[in-house]
């Protein structure tokens, strides 16, 4: 059994201790992510390893995985957006230190305030969240309709069937 997850973490101390944090956090309560979502249902799976690298930089490596409930920006219907993020954070105590980090790291600036594990995970999701999520083409009703319209506009189309009858049929399914 793993111990319960802390709400706040000290990344410097966790790095020195080579700690691993694994678990789930709820999407609900992620206030900066929420405006991009249809609902805040769901969880984020995370696996984060804190360590000190060869150059003595305290760092966090790992991955996040979730399914977000969003609106497809092409058909405006609900969709599940699978989202994965690879995490590579360099833990620093000042902006100057952040600027010296190797480019492989995103800075995680820690100060006197404790670091919220949930907010840290939310930050990483915001980095990979698409601006306008859309269904994969075959699954998007708006995309299928557009393809139908394009087919109807083809001048060499054979037959004189009413194209709207075809469309109506497809809409029923
Ligand atoms: Zn769609």
pLDDT tens digits for 92-128? 999 999 999 999 999 999 988 889 999 999 999 999 9
| Residue 4 pLDDT grade (very low, low, confident, very high; cuts 50, 70, 90) | confident
| Residue 152 pLDDT grade (very low, low, confident, very high; cuts 50, 70, 90) | confident
Kindly state whether residues 112 and 130 are assigned to the same domain. Answer: yes
Q: What is the 3-state secondary structure (H, E, C) of the chain?
A: CCCCCCCEECHHHHHHCCCEEEEEEECCCCCCCHHHCCECCCEEEEEEEEEECCCCCEEEEEEEEEEEEEECCCCCCEEEEEEEEEEEEEEECCHHHHHCCCCCCEEEECCCCCEEHHHHHHHHHHHHCCCCCCCCHHHCHHHHHHHHHHHHHCCCCCCCCCHHHHHHHHHHC
pLDDT for 1 equals 46
Kindly state whether residues 113 and 157 are assigned to the same domain. Answer: no
pLDDT for 114 equals 87
Kindly state whether residues 84 and 140 are assigned to the same domain. Answer: no
Kindly state whether residues 76 and 141 are assigned to the same domain. Answer: no
Kindly state whether residues 74 and 23 are assigned to the same domain. Answer: yes
> Which domain range does residue 147 map to?
136-173
Examine residue 76 and state whether it is found in any structural domain, yes or no: yes
Kindly state whether residues 106 and 148 are assigned to the same domain. Answer: no
Pick the more confident residue, 170 or 81: 81
Examine residue 2 and state whether it is found in any structural domain, yes or no: no
Report CA(72)–ligand 1 centroid distance (Å). Answer: 5
Report CA(51)–ligand 1 centroid distance (Å). Answer: 41
Residue 160: is its pLDDT beyond 50? yes
Query: What residues are neighbours of ligand 1 (ion), with CB under 5 Å?
Result: 72, 74-75, 135, 140
Total domain count, the chain: 2
Contact residues for 16 (Cβ-Cβ < 8 A; gap 6+)? 52, 58
Pick the more confident residue, 107 or 144: 107
Report CA(129)–ligand 1 centroid distance (Å). Answer: 17
Report CA(150)–ligand 1 centroid distance (Å). Answer: 18
Nearest 5°: the CA angle 69, 39, 64 is 50
| Residue 156 pLDDT grade (very low, low, confident, very high; cuts 50, 70, 90) | low
Report CA(24)–ligand 1 centroid distance (Å). Answer: 28
């Amino acid at each position: 059994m793993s111990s319960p997850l802390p709400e706040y973490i000290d990344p410097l101390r966790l790095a020195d201790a080579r700690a691993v944090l694994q678990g789930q956090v709820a999407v609900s309560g992620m206030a900066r992510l929420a405006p991009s979502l249809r609902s805040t249902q769901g969880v984020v799976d995370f696996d984060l390893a804190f360590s000190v690298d060869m150059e003595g930089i305290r760092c966090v490596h790992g991955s996040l995985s979730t399914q977000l409930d969003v609106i497809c920006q092409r058909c405006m219907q609900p969709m599940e957006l699978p989202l994965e993020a690879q995490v590579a954070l360099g833990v620093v105590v000042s902006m100057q230190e952040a600027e010296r980090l190797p480019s492989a790291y995103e800075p995680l600036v820690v100060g006197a305030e404790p670091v919220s594990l949930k907010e840290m995970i939310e930050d990483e999701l915001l980095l990979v969240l698409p601006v306008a999520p859309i269904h994969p083409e075959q699954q998007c009703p708006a995309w299928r309709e557009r393809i139908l319209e394009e087919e109807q506009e083809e001048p060499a189309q054979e037959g004189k069937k009413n194209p709207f009858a075809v469309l109506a049929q497809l809409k029923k399914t």
